[in-house]
Structure formats: structure tokens, C-alpha cells
Amino acid sequence: MTSASVPLHELHCHLDGSVRPGTVADLARHQGIALNAPVERLVTAPASCGSLTRFLTYIDLPLRVLQTPDALRRAARELVEDWSADDVVYGETRFAPQLHGRRGMTQDEAVQAVAEGLAAGRRATGVRTGLLLCCLRHQTPEESLAVAETALRHRDQVAGLDLAGDERLHPATPHRAAFDLAHAAGLPCTVHAGEAAGADSMWEAIDVLGARRIGHGVRCVGEHALLDRLRRDGIALEMCPTSNVLTGAVSSLRAHPAARLLADGLAVTISTDARTTSATTLSQEFDRLRAAAGWTAEQDKLAQDHAAGAAFATTRPGTSGATRPMRS
């Protein structure tokens, strides 16, 4: 638990980057996939990782074993159990259902499997959950539109839409139709930006795709007009300190801008990004900020207040833990 003993909320957590190493090994064994090294080395990024491109390679094996509904259900249920052990009271996970069709699983089947796993975890732990679907920058506009359409077919289970990928190599604008569809249906959106590229990617996320939250956003420091816009519109920043160092988005935890931006009135939130790939928990993220950046109990509480206010899902009255998108 954080030093302030405040309830923890996690907004930015990729399912395929948060599968327990033991589960990856077990699924690989049952699926006949041989591992050429200890599983921990295959799924956890080293401290010397240094780039987003290399960081993402450590998700290749988890993605390979998450190609059946049973595997997705198990991973989602275990993530909720891990949140509970981490004192998280509300967690959002995100995944790209279009990446789980190697064995013929449809996007609808993938979403249903993850939703069922989250529901099982909720029943067992009481942790509230939200599910986001990811469009991918390197894919075509048509593929992103299909993801948005899948999200809308599962409105009772999907709380938001995301755009993930390397913004240095792939702009967000081609995916506008998918996000226009989400906005028309009242589905809130977040966009990865300001991680691999600078302020321009964040302006694009806000002005073109209508992002209510920004995934990471660490490269906004010193961009006064952008900071004013983020502050004025209350756009939450989903910062993931350990991951931001591993991907080279910031040079060190000591240099991470979360504390400065929080003090400057921005809606900074803290998440893990990928619990297994980054070898972290949400509690550890706060511990590391305290040790390296002078983070305080008051900042714990403020960041958690921002996270609770920026959550995309809430409990549906009359049901046990089911989620629905929050309305603006």
C-alpha cells in the first residue's frame, strides 16, 4: 500500500504485458511451445532495455500463448487477483483483440474471453475492473475501425478505446474514423502519445482523436501551450515510471517528470504499463518514486484522486462488478 494508505487505481495496464511468468511457461508447455531460455528472461525487459522497440519484444511470447479463449480468460482472472494482492481497488486493462486470431479466434470471442476472466476475478476479489480495446498505429485504418466496431458490439463489457504503438513511426490521424465512431457512441478514448515522440504526437491525440487521457505523455515538459491545454481540459496523463525508463522515454526515475507536472496542476496518474515486462507492481511504482524522486504521501493521494476521477468504467447499478462506460 502507498504511504498514504489510499485506495489504488490503475488505468494503464496491458494484459499481454502482465501475464504471470509461471502462467506463460505453463501455457507454453500445454501448447507444445518450446522455450529456449528461462521464462523470466523471455518476458521481462532488462534494465538496459533502452527503447520501446526492444521493450515490446518481451511481449512476443505472452502474445504467442494467448491465442485461445481459455488462455485469455486465465490471464485476465489472474491479473485481477494480482491487483487485489497489490491493494488495487480499481484496475483497467487493455489489449488488442485483433492480435489473438492466429488460431482462428475472432475479435468478439477474444473480448468475451477477457471479459469473462475479469468477471471471475471481480467475483473472487471484489476489485472493480474496466476493459479497453487497442487499435494499433502500424495497422490500417480499416483494421482500427473493426476494433472500434467490436468495442461497440460489447458496450456492456468494454469501457474505452485506445491507440497504441510507436508514434515516431506511425501517426494517429489515419485512425480518426475509428475514434470518431467511438465518440459518436459515447465511448471514451485514450491515446498513447508523448512516449516515443514529442509534443506534436500529444497535440494530434487531443485535437484529431479527441483523447480524454494520454498514455504516458512524459514528453510534454517545457511545452507551455500544451501544458495549458492539458490543465484546462483536465486531460489525465497515464504515466508509468519504470516502463518510461525502460523504453528510454525518460533517462531515470530521478528525472521522471511526474512530480513536477503534478505540482504544476496536471492530472498525473501512475500505472505499471506492463506488470510482467516491467517487473513491477503499482505499489512498487510509488515506492520507487519515493526513493528516487522525493515523492510524498500527499502526492500519492493526489495522483490517486486523479486516477479515480479519470476512470473510464464504473459499476452498473444492480449488478456485481459489471462495467459500463462512464459518460462525459
DSSP string, 34-51: PPSS-HHHHHS--TT--S
Tell me the Ramachandran region of residue 219: left when phi exceeds 0, alpha when psi lies from -120 to 50, beta otherwise.
alpha
pLDDT of amino acid 314: 67
List Cα–Cα distances, 195 to 29, 43, 189, 220, in angstroms. Answer: 35, 21, 17, 9
pLDDT digits 0-9 by tens, 253-268: 999 999 999 999 999 9
CA distance 128 to 11: 12
Domain that holds residue 137: 8-310
pLDDT score of 57 more than 80: yes
Q: pLDDT-derived band of residue 67, with 50, 70 and 90 as boundaries?
A: very high
Residue 95 lies in a domain: yes
pLDDT confidence of residue 325: 44
| Residue 324 belongs to a domain | no
CA distance 199 to 219: 6
pLDDT tens sequence across 90-139: 999 999 999 999 999 999 999 999 999 999 999 999 999 999 999 999 99
Tell me how far apart the alpha carbons of residues 275 and 13 are, in angstroms, rounded to a whole number: 7
Residue 327 belongs to a domain: no
From the list 158, 273, 175, 178, the residue with the least C-alpha distance to 217 is 273
The Cα 206–Cα 266 span in angstroms is 15
317 domain residue, yes or no = no
Catalytic residue among 78, 167, 195, 238: 195
Quote the CA–CA distance of 261 and 44 in Å, as a whole number.
29
**How sure is the predictor about 324, in pLDDT bands with cuts at 50, 70 and 90?**
very low
CATH code, 221? 3.20.20.140
End-to-end CA distance of the chain: 30
Is residue 325 in some structural domain? no
167: pLDDT strictly greater than 90 = yes
Q: Tell me the mean pLDDT in the region 40-44.
A: 98
Per cent of the chain over pLDDT 70 is 94
319, pLDDT greater than 60: no
195 catalytic per annotation = yes
pLDDT at 315 over 90: no
Residue 178 burial by CB count (10 A; 0-12/13-18/19+): exposed, middle or buried? buried
Q: Is the pLDDT of residue 326 over 70?
A: no
Q: Is residue 206 within 8 Å of residue 235, measured between CB atoms?
A: yes
Q: How far is CA 92 from CA 99, 143, 248, in A?
A: 19, 23, 24
Q: Is residue 303 part of a domain?
A: yes
Instruction: Provide the pairing of β-strand 236-239 with 268-270.
Output: parallel
Q: What pLDDT band is residue 5 in, cutting at 50, 70 and 90? A: low
Span 291-314, mean pLDDT?
A: 92
Mean predicted lDDT score pLDDT of the chain = 93
Number of domains in the chain: 1
**What's the half-sphere exposure (Cβ side, CA atoms, 13 Å) at 175?**
33
Determine, yes or no, domain membership for 33: yes
Q: How do 160-164 and 213-216 pair as beta strands?
A: unpaired
Dihedral in degrees, nearest 10, Cα atoms 309, 153, 203, 234: -10
- Interval 289-310 mean pLDDT: 93
174 pLDDT tier (thresholds 50, 70, 90):
very high
Q: Is 5 left (phi over 0), alpha (psi -120 to 50) or beta?
A: left
Q: Assess if residue 239 is contained within a domain.
A: yes
